[in-house]
Structure 1
Amino acid sequence: MFNLSHPKLGTLAEAEGYAEVADFLGDHTLGSVVPAICVASDCDHTADLEPDQRAGSREACGRASMKSGLVISGMI
């Protein structure tokens, strides 16, 4: 089941210039590199990563807390 209401997904879509999460996901569903966000509660760092990224490393802090928007939404 998809989760379009996850707060980090909304933050990521907004950071990418989208007013609607569904529009963000529609534009990035087939990409080979997609926007991702740090899911740590104290961070909203974004980067472009692989669509299936679940534990990408954030260079600034060394945490493995980056997830792609497609993973957060449950599409992957």
Structure 2
Amino acid sequence: MFNLSHPKLVKLAEAEGYAEVADFLEDHAVGSIVPAICVASDCDHTADLEPDQRAGFCEACGRASMKSGLVISGMI
């Protein structure tokens, strides 16, 4: 089941210049590097990471809390 309303996914799509999460996912569904966001509650750092990234290192807060938009949405 896809989750297009997850708050971090919405923030990530907006940070990438998209008004709609669906448009963001459509544009990045087959990329080898995709936008990711830190899912820690006090951090919204973004970076480009692997599409299946679930615990990437966040350069802003130092935690292993980066997730790709595709993972957050449930596409991967």
Quote the sequence identity (%): 89
Report the Cα offset of residue 60 of structure 1: 3.0
After the TM superposition, list the runs of 4 or more consecutive aligned residues in structure 1 that deviate by more than 6 angstroms: none
Report the Cα offset of residue 62 of structure 1: 1.7
Q: Which residue identity lines up with residue 64 of structure 1 in the other structure?
A: A
Aligned-residue RMSD, C-alpha: 0.6
Partner residue in 2 for 1:55: 55
Structure 2 gaps, min length 5: none
Tell me the distance in 2 between the aligned counterparts of 1:70 and 1:39: 13
Q: Which residue identity lines up with residue 3 of structure 1 in the other structure?
A: N
**1:73 lines up with 2:76 in the alignment:** no
Secondary structure at the aligned position of 1:65 is classed as strand
Tell me the distance in 1 between the aligned counterparts of 2:6 and 2:60: 24
Structure 1 gaps, min length 5: none
Aligned residues: 76
TM-score by length of 2: 0.97
